[in-house]
Structure 1
Amino acid sequence: MKSLYLILHIFTISFPLVRSFEPRIQYAKKWSPLFQAIGITGFFFIVWDVLFTRAGVWGFNPDYLVGIYIFELPLEEILFFITVPFASVFIYECVHYFLPHIHTSSAIKWTSMALGLGLIGIALVNSDQAYTFWNFLFAGSFLLFVSLINPWWFGHFWVAYLLHLIPFILVNGVLTGYGLDAPIVWYNNDENLSIRILTIPIEDTMYALLLLLMNVFLFEKLKKSFKQNP
Structure 2
Amino acid sequence: MQIYTYILINFLTIIICFIFSFDHRIQFCKHFAAFLKGNTVVAIPFIAWDIAFTKMGVWWFNTAYTMPFRLASLPIEEWLFFICIPFSCVFSYFCLDKFFNLNWTNRYNNLLVWITVVVCTVTGILFYQKIYPLVTSIITAGTVLYLHYIAKVNWIGKGSFVYLCLMPGFFMVNGVLTGTGLDSPIVNYNSDQILNIRMLTIPIEDAVYGYAQFMLNIYFFKRFQKND
Q: Does TM, scored on the shorter chain, surpass 0.5?
A: yes
Which residue pairs with 1:187 in the alignment?
A: 189
Which residue pairs with 2:131 in the alignment?
A: 130
Which residue pairs with 1:65 in the alignment?
A: 66
Give, as a single letter, the amino acid of the residue that structure 1 aligns with 2:12.
Answer: F
Compare relative contact order (CA 8 Å, sep 6+) and give the higher one, 1 or 2.
Answer: 2
Could you report, residue by residue, the CA deviation over 1:135-179 in whole angstroms, capped at 9, with x for unpaired residues? 111011111221325423323212210111110100100000011
Query: 2:188 & 2:175 partners in 1: Cα distance?
Result: 12
Which residue pairs with 1:52 in the alignment?
A: 53
Distance 1:97 1:106, change over 3 A: closer
Which residue pairs with 1:205 in the alignment?
A: 207
Query: 2:168 & 2:92 partners in 1: Cα distance?
Result: 11
Q: Residues 31-46 of structure 1 correspond to what in structure 2 (within 5 A)? A: 31-46=32-47
Which residue pairs with 1:18 in the alignment?
A: 19
Whether contact under 8 Å (1:174, 1:183) holds in the other structure is: yes
Q: How far off its partner does 1:103 sit?
A: 3.6
Q: How far off its partner does 1:133 sit?
A: 0.4
Query: 1:158 & 1:24 partners in 2: Cα distance?
Result: 24
Q: SS in structure 2 opposite 1:186?
A: strand
Q: SS in structure 1 opposite 2:129?
A: coil
Distance 1:101 1:77, change over 3 A: closer
Q: How far off its partner does 1:29 sit?
A: 0.3
Q: SS in structure 2 opposite 1:2?
A: helix
Gaps of 5+ in 2: none
Which residue pairs with 1:176 in the alignment?
A: 178
Query: 2:194 & 2:162 partners in 1: Cα distance?
Result: 26
Gaps of 5+ in 1: none
157, 160, 163: which one aligns with 1:161: 163
Query: 1:66 & 1:188 partners in 2: Cα distance?
Result: 22
| Superposition TM-score, scaled by structure 2 size | 0.95
Q: SS in structure 1 opposite 2:188?
A: strand
Could you report, residue by residue, the CA deviation over 1:169-212 in whole angstroms, capped at 9, with x for unpaired residues? 00100000011111000000100100000000000000110110
Query: 1:105 & 1:209 partners in 2: Cα distance?
Result: 17
> Identity over aligned residues, as a percent?
33
Query: Which stretch shifts more, 138-147 or 108-117?
Result: 108-117
Distance 1:211 1:176, change over 3 A: same
Query: 1:194 & 1:68 partners in 2: Cα distance?
Result: 30
Whether contact under 8 Å (1:132, 1:203) holds in the other structure is: yes
Q: How far off its partner does 1:78 sit?
A: 0.5
Q: How far off its partner does 1:94 sit?
A: 1.2
Query: Which stretch shifts more, 110-119 or 10-19?
Result: 110-119
Q: SS in structure 2 opposite 1:208?
A: helix
RMSD over aligned CA atoms reads 1.4
Give, as a single letter, the amino acid of the residue that structure 2 aligns with 1:107.
Answer: Y
Whether contact under 8 Å (1:109, 1:150) holds in the other structure is: no
Query: 2:155 & 2:26 partners in 1: Cα distance?
Result: 16
Whether contact under 8 Å (1:139, 1:206) holds in the other structure is: yes
Query: Which stretch shifts more, 92-101 or 20-29?
Result: 92-101
